[in-house]
Amino acid sequence: RHAPLSVENVDMSQQINKPKHYTTAYDTQSLVVRRGHEFMVRVTFNRELVQQDDFQLEFLIGSNPSANKGSLVVVTFGSRRGGPWAGRIVEMQGGSVLLSVTPSATAIVGKYRTYVAISVGSGMQRTKRNAATDLYMLFNAWCPQDPVFLPDESERMEYVLNDTGVIYQGSMGAIVTRSWGYGQFEYGILDACIYILDSSRMPIYNRGNIIKVVRKGSAMINSQDDNGVLVGNWSNDYSMGVAPTAWTGSVTILQQYANTGVPVCYAQCWVYAGVFCTFLRCLGIPTRVITNFSSAHDNTGNLKTDLIFKMDGTPDRRATRDSIWNYHCWNECWMVRPDLPAGYGGWQVVDSTPQETSDGHFRCGPAPVAAIKEGNLCHPFDCGFVFAEVNSDVVFLKKDRYGTMEVFKVDKTHVGQGLFTKALGSDQYMNVTHTYKHPEGSEADSRTMTRAEEYGCDRDHSDIPDGELSADITSEPVTHLSAICSCLATFHSYQPTYQPTYQPTYLPSYLPSYLPTYLPTYLPTYLPIDLPTYLPSYLPSYLPPYRPSYLPTYLPTYLPTYLPTYLPTFQPTYLPTYLPTYLPTYLPTYLPTFLPTFLPTYLPTYLPSYLPTYLPTYLPIYLPTYLSTYLPTYLPTYLPTFLPTYLSDVQLK
């Protein structure tokens, strides 16, 4: 006769399990495992097991665990049938028994409580609650049976285990990087992610479903309608919180939210994307941050981003509901899509920035990237909205005095200029535009756009009216009948008046690649006629913030061939009005870095022919005011390095 069987100790064997499950980095006292893969538990009984002994492990999650809901899992180790998790005895040494447990690849994700139950008479006797035996269950990108299985090891290292990264901002042609600390392994972050699911009141039995977890997370990272993690703010007034640009990672945000239950102020798209990436990676879901340059926000459910202008050419912000962001960040996560036809698994767009509602909540996705590329917008979730973000036509409309709107310009290539994410194993960017769209103008692109229209996303097919043309004709006086009458006809083409508000976000990405090939042939004939009337009203508001970053690269190659022809005719009438207000604020910052490399080459050939005509009329007006404030600070630094090389080529009289 043997003594009644009882449990003396339960050891979750963390030193064995964590390395095999790639969870060593999690800063927690509890075991962290990934579903679908075996883990070990060592149970020490009061004596050696005999054939008549019957025991089981029980794993419970949630406040009301139920076997038929998957939240109470029984694991047996003999011939008796258990639950969906497999169990076996690995070894026995006296009363110490090493047990193997293999969770199902669809197990509920979250924090489980562990018990050992021993059959006693007609019932089961369970061990007492012991927090040291709790375990966290995660999604498993290493398990082929898990819907988030990612075959490539280097991608698993990057998209699941990398806890730092880079988010791209700026514009095409002027991409800037922002480092971001995801910190998914930091203390308290795993608990914070589970707290987010608890706060959403998401049923426990749904937390093994990757699609439902991702959609719930997309809604909960913003606070728009469910008291979620982050409050958005695009007003430039951040006095009631932290400016979005001040955040450098997700850890502080998630810890603050978990500790207070109060949404954290403030966020914009890259902050939402960074925190959502932490949430998903922490739970084991392969995730990356995507930046879409020139991203459309379509409020009207079509493929037209309508920008409405008043009669005077200024934007009608009240009537314009659509918008274009110079960049927008979202996430992609990797999963199979058993709810869709074959071919739509893989990367899925998910977005937690609150833009539009999906099934009543501010969230977006998962939308298959493969479906977006082919225009198959009938598949869930939110494919039409994402498709418009990367493919929308920009339609410029002008409203007359009666409220009637007329299309005066359509740009079919501005939106979705490029999509980028961090490259594997480095901080360099990887261009993923080809995964979202076919080359602009290709046959495949045309088929995609046609297919999208068939699913109800209307494109613009307006007939753009011809530009207006006016002419000023002047003639020289005729002194006698046989003289030749010389006439000059100056033509003025219609120029839309939206540039001052549109171009500051558009030109920084457009001009660097466009102007070097365009301006040398275009400007010499166009600018002398057009710029005297256009630039005085446009440049003062546009150039100060734009030129300091652009001109140092552009001017050294462009000005030497352009200015000798253009400036003698244009600047005598333009510069006296423009330069006195513009140069005092612009040149002190720009010239010290630009002129030392540019002027030594440019001035010796240009100034001798230009200045004799220009300076006598211009300098008496401008220089007395300008030089007295500018030269005392500029020349002591500039002239000692520049003038010795320049003046040696000039004959002083």
**CB 508 within 8 Å of CB 176:** no
Write down the pLDDT at residue 380.
97
Write down the pLDDT at residue 198.
98
Q: Which DSSP letter does residue 204 get?
A: G
| Least confident among 440-449, 474-483, 574-583 | 474-483
Catalytic residue among 193, 269, 383, 457: 269
pLDDT band at 540 (very low <50, low <70, confident <90, very high): very low
Q: What is the pLDDT of residues 215-248, one digit of tens each?
A: 999 999 999 989 999 999 999 999 999 999 999 9
Q: What percentage of the chain has pLDDT greater than the value 70?
A: 70
Q: Read off the amino acid at residue 436.
A: Y
Active site residue 492: no
Q: What is the pLDDT of residues 333-378, one digit of tens each?
A: 999 999 999 999 999 999 999 999 999 999 999 999 999 999 999 9
Q: What is the pLDDT of residues 290-307, one digit of tens each?
A: 999 999 997 766 788 888
Write down the pLDDT at residue 46.
96
**CB 98 within 8 Å of CB 40:** yes
Catalytic residue among 37, 328, 361, 379: 328
Q: What is the pLDDT of residues 19-65, one digit of tens each?
A: 999 999 999 999 999 999 999 999 999 999 999 999 999 999 999 99
CA distance 325 to 171: 10
Residue 84 scores a pLDDT above 80: yes
What average pLDDT is seen over the chain? 82
Residue 17 scores a pLDDT above 50: yes
pLDDT band at 400 (very low <50, low <70, confident <90, very high): confident
Token readout for 384 is: 């039409």
Active site residue 351: yes
Q: Which DSSP letter does residue 208 get?
A: T
| Least confident among 168-177, 374-383, 403-412, 569-578 | 569-578
Q: How far is CA 259 from CA 136, 189, 304, 612, in A?
A: 20, 11, 43, 73
Write down the pLDDT at residue 425.
94
Residue 653 scores a pLDDT above 50: no
DSSP 340-368: S-TT--EEEEEE-S-SSEETTEE-EEEEE
Region 607-612: what's the mean pLDDT?
55
CA distance 188 to 177: 28
**CB 118 within 8 Å of CB 14:** no
Write down the pLDDT at residue 377.
94
CA distance 205 to 211: 13
Region 96-125: what's the mean pLDDT?
96
Q: Which of 568, 566, 563, 651 is nearest to 617 (CA)?
A: 568
Residue 273 scores a pLDDT above 60: yes
Per-residue exposure over 528-540, b if at least 16 CB sit within 10 Å of its own CB, e if not: ebebeeebeeebe
Chain-centroid distance, C-alpha 118: 53
Residue 595 scores a pLDDT above 60: no
Residue 256 scores a pLDDT above 60: yes
Region 253-277: what's the mean pLDDT?
98
Q: What is the pLDDT of residues 469-520, one digit of tens each?
A: 444 444 455 444 333 344 344 444 444 433 343 444 434 444 454 445 444 4
Write down the pLDDT at residue 358.
94
State the Rg of the chain over Cα.
34
pLDDT band at 532 (very low <50, low <70, confident <90, very high): very low
Contacts for 270 with CB less than 8 Å, ≥ 6 apart: 167, 169, 178, 180, 244, 289, 291, 329
Write down the pLDDT at residue 616.
57
**Who wins on pLDDT, 408 or 57?**
57
Write down the pLDDT at residue 436.
98
What is the pairing mode between strands 230-232 and 264-267? parallel
- H helices within 251-323, ranges in order? 251-260, 269-282
CA distance 21 to 39: 8
Write down the pLDDT at residue 401.
83
Active site residue 316: no
Catalytic residue among 351, 393, 411, 460: 351
Q: What is the pLDDT of residues 366-387, one digit of tens each?
A: 999 999 999 999 999 999 999 9
Region 114-125: what's the mean pLDDT?
93
Contacts for 536 with CB less than 8 Å, ≥ 6 apart: 574, 577, 578
